Amino acid sequence: MLARVDGPLKVTGRAGYGLDRTLPGMVYGYVVVSTIAHGEIESMDVTAAKSAPGVVGVYSPFDPLALRTASSPMFGETWVPLQDKEVTYYGQPIGFVVAESFEQARDAAMLVRVSYRPLPALTSLAEGLATAEDAPESRGVPSSLAVLAPDVESIEDALAASPVVVEATYSTATQNHAAMEPHSAVAVWEDGVMTVYSGNQASHLHAMELASALELEPSAVHSVNPFVGGAFGGKGRTASPAFLAAAAARALGRPVKAALTREQVFTATAGRAATVQKIALGAERDGTLIALRHDSWCSTDAQRSFVEPTSHGTSREWYATRNLAISQKMVPLNIPPTTFMRAPGEAPGSFALESAIDELAVALEMDPIELRQRNSSTAPPGKDLQWSSKHLDECFRVGAAQFGWTHRRPGGRTEGDWLVGMGAATAMFPALRFPATVGITLRDDDTAEVATSGADPGTGLLTVLSLVGAESLDIAAERIVPLLGDSRLPPGGLSGGSTATASVGTAIMIAAAQAIDELLALASAPGAPFDGQDALYADGRVLAGGRSMTFGELLRALDLPSLHVTGSSAPGEELTKHSFSSFGAQFCEVRVHKWTREARVSRMLGVFDGGRIINGQAARSQILGGMIWGVSAALHEGLEIEANGRLANGDFAGYLLPVNADIPEVGVHFVEYPDTLHNAVGARGLGEIGTVGVAAAVANAIANATGIRVRHIPIMIEDLLPEE
């Protein structure tokens, strides 16, 4: 098994990230950010900054760079800094200082004096709920949707007729992606071509947005994305340093390097929205769901750039119920932008839904896993399209046996000074595919290049190119040369939405079949080594008439250095025949100290049905990382936004993340059922499902241990203090 193509480079420090590039004549840019949450910039005094040592340029809305709002087919419009004088959140990029060194640029930026005309700012989700707006359509579903049994007039009637009802409000905190690599770029303007080295999730989309903002032809922008130090949705769109560095490089005629500071990453990029979710569940006394109502509110920025689809991402599909009503509203605030973050919608939505399911199990005095299995959906409610493949019940059975679920007791157990409880939760994430094109080049040295413009933000896609390419071409993986992260390669979709393996893998199989067909045609052409024969291909060799040649030998015999083809794949008619999702069962054991009320996760297990597993080591790593995210959301992460819009903990000193001591034994198990109805590779997405449901499993375990139900995350010590 090929473990990881990029592993040796990364562990030895030889992997070059975007900011690692240093070029002759390069200058350095530093972003200036706002210090109010809402208002208009009246003036910016840059006199002192311009005269500071080493400064070569100072840019602001009063002296802007040549930029305009960017757009791309996937994301639509993307905000670009310095376009106007409006400030809509604290920490918004409003200026750019360029100097001969980073230190000179940073020090000069501190000399910029900004005068504002402040305007009233709304920064609290709780205070903004009264002004909530209907969210736009999400995943083809309107902001409000009801699926009711024929004889039921409203969801309220269905709940009223239910023998057992639980109803509660849950909330989740604002979060930041906290990627190790800050958003950054190195830009070079040379011979009418803009080259930008920057970590992103799709180099061809990055190039499109830059071309749009710079008003250049797409062919005049080259995005190079060698390695990515974490992305998780936060590097899907082009960030301010790339726009500003590119425009400044063109204006100055010198390479420009720019990076956000860690504090600036918390405001000058986008994060996960905070949510409030109200759930009501009605059931028969045997646990059969009669009604499910899930109303959601999420924060969004003043531009309404993103909606966190919590109800639509969970209750819309997870459980069979005769009556369903969901709604999604957004609350525009003067806060940094919100965007996709690992399992957008499903991660915070599962905390609410899976906590509510556990509360229903308590009310029914039923085992929480039995309740979930009893209401497992065969298709999303109201849709005739059944799941292409679903083995969630097996995930729960396998997980319960491995985790020792039979030892769980309704009131938990006590071990010395620790109260110990177990919790479980369902995990689901949609199995999607994006259009992707892959180029395959058979070379005369018997190696094959498999290339696409996509990105590998630590997910292992580079290795997937090698493994699927080798399988499709019937050669050893060591003979594959995988290429990623360059906009001049065939457009390879987006490394996001847990789509990359299914999307790119399918395109590889199509391209490989075409390469083999063209190779055989060449082999049997007049004058070729297998002239007129019905040649076959196997084990990287062309065979006919009792003789064989490797494809490299054949190309050399034909005096051809290489054979190049491209193959493309996109979702097709399968979308009209089935519903697609990956599934999982999360298990968690938590210990809460009797006296200090400290909560510690002591054991975790996730069992997943993600179709075929291409690389077991990388798949386990992805799931393990996602599960750690879930613990982090449950017990650590939460941005605190002050009334003036400032982030009270917008750095790694105050924004809590788990460390090794916080993460116990984590088990990951796969039930493998290749899903060839979804794609020819049989693989479904795994990058995001690992985090789904974990926060709820932690909260459920805490409730089992202590009897205290906490309906918000992160859960703090003060939430677990016993009542006087």
Catalytic residue annotation: 688
Contact (Cβ atoms closer than 8 angstroms) between residue 506 and residue 436: yes
Q: 3-class DSSP state for residue 243?
A: helix
Per-residue b or e along 54-81, where b marks 16 or more CB atoms closer than 10 Å to that residue's CB: ebbbbbbbeeebebeebebebbeebbbb
Q: Would you tell me how many other CB atoms lie within 10 Å of the CB of residue 151?
A: 8
What is the Cα 135 distance to its own chain's centre?
Answer: 21
Sheet of 418-430, strand order: 413-415, 418-430, 581-593, 599-609, 665-670
Cis peptide upstream of residue 714 (ω within 30 degrees of 0): yes
Cα dihedral 82, 83, 89, 91 in deg (nearest 10): -10
Contact (Cβ atoms closer than 8 angstroms) between residue 436 and residue 451: no
Q: Give the Å distances, CA to CA, from 68 to 39, 91, 177, 212.
A: 21, 20, 26, 8
Structure tokens at 616: 């077991």
Shortest CA distance to 477 belongs to which of 644, 370, 339, 614?
614
Q: Give the Å distances, CA to CA, from 456 to 42, 62, 185, 459, 461.
A: 43, 39, 17, 6, 5
Instruction: Give residues with Cβ within 8 angstroms of 515, minimum separation 6.
Output: 440, 442, 448, 473, 563, 565
Q: At what angle do helices 461-473 and 500-523 cross, to 10 degrees?
A: 30
- Name the burial class of residue 497, with classes exposed (0-12), middle (13-18) and buried (19+) by CB atoms within 10 angstroms of its CB: buried
Instruction: Give residues with Cβ within 8 angstroms of 157, minimum separation 6.
Output: none
Structure tokens at 325: 């009503």
What is the Cα 157 distance to its own chain's centre?
Answer: 38
Q: Give the Å distances, CA to CA, from 442 to 52, 250, 447, 528, 549.
A: 55, 38, 6, 17, 14
Contact (Cβ atoms closer than 8 angstroms) between residue 257 and residue 26: yes
Q: Would you tell me how many other CB atoms lie within 10 Å of the CB of residue 134?
A: 13
Say which amino acid occupies 190: E
Say which amino acid occupies 180: M
Q: 208 — alpha (psi -120 to 50), left (phi > 0) or beta?
A: alpha
Structure tokens at 469: 């390419």
